[in-house]
Chains A and B, each alone.
Chain A
């Protein structure tokens, strides 16, 4: 398996635009996580899914953020409208229950 795949690797967008981040988990993993990393706040869990169903979205900062997992091999994190304070690195990770968590390379988002 190629590991967790995220796209794009880098995204620069203007304030107010919609941004969509994509993640392909490791085949067979039944948990998928979205994290945001900043210097100030470290790694924050935004939302995680089990078998495509959101389990906990309490980390989603506000209604501008939404995440979906339409099937076992694909998830999206959408920000609409984007703001400069959303600039961060967004990571996706996947795992089996109780197992090692494997991370993608991240998407570096810059909102200008």
Chain B
């Protein structure tokens, strides 16, 4: 059974810092990995999708990397802003299209 872990569970940084969120998974036989953002009381918003054959994906200030063989992904946020404060979740998709989530990292960016 796939297990997804995110470290740290919570992170507080001053505005302007670059930061890295970590995601690890136990079964490397994945189809893709997705990063989501969730604001309090809201649904999940898709941020980035990395196919299993890819090493990284970029969208604006966000960069996600994938090392499938070691079961790891990182989400890099450059020049963090207070508006980036949210919970970030990673999820892995297997060949059967089952999407399994990590516990999330709660990010607070202080002005």
Q: Which residues of A contact B (CB under 8 A)?
A: 31, 33, 35, 42-43, 45, 48, 50, 55-56, 91, 93, 95, 97-106
Contact = CB atoms under 8 A, between A and B. Distances in A.
Nearest to A6: B43
Contact of B97 (A31, A42, A102, A104): A31
Interface string B72-111: 0000000000000000010101001111111110000000
Candidate in B34, B44, B49, B96 with the most chain A CB atoms within 10 angstroms: B44
Contact of B98 (A42, A48, A100, A104): A48
A102 B98 CA distance: 14
A35 to B, nearest CB: 8
A27 B43 CA distance: 19
Given A42-B104, A98-B31, A98-B93, A106 B43 contact: yes
B43 A103 contact: yes
Interface of B is mostly: strand
Given A98-B31, A100-B34, A100-B49, A43 B98 contact: no
A91 B42 CA distance: 10
B97 A50 contact: yes
B103 A45 contact: no
Contacts of A100: 34, 46, 49
B22 interface: no
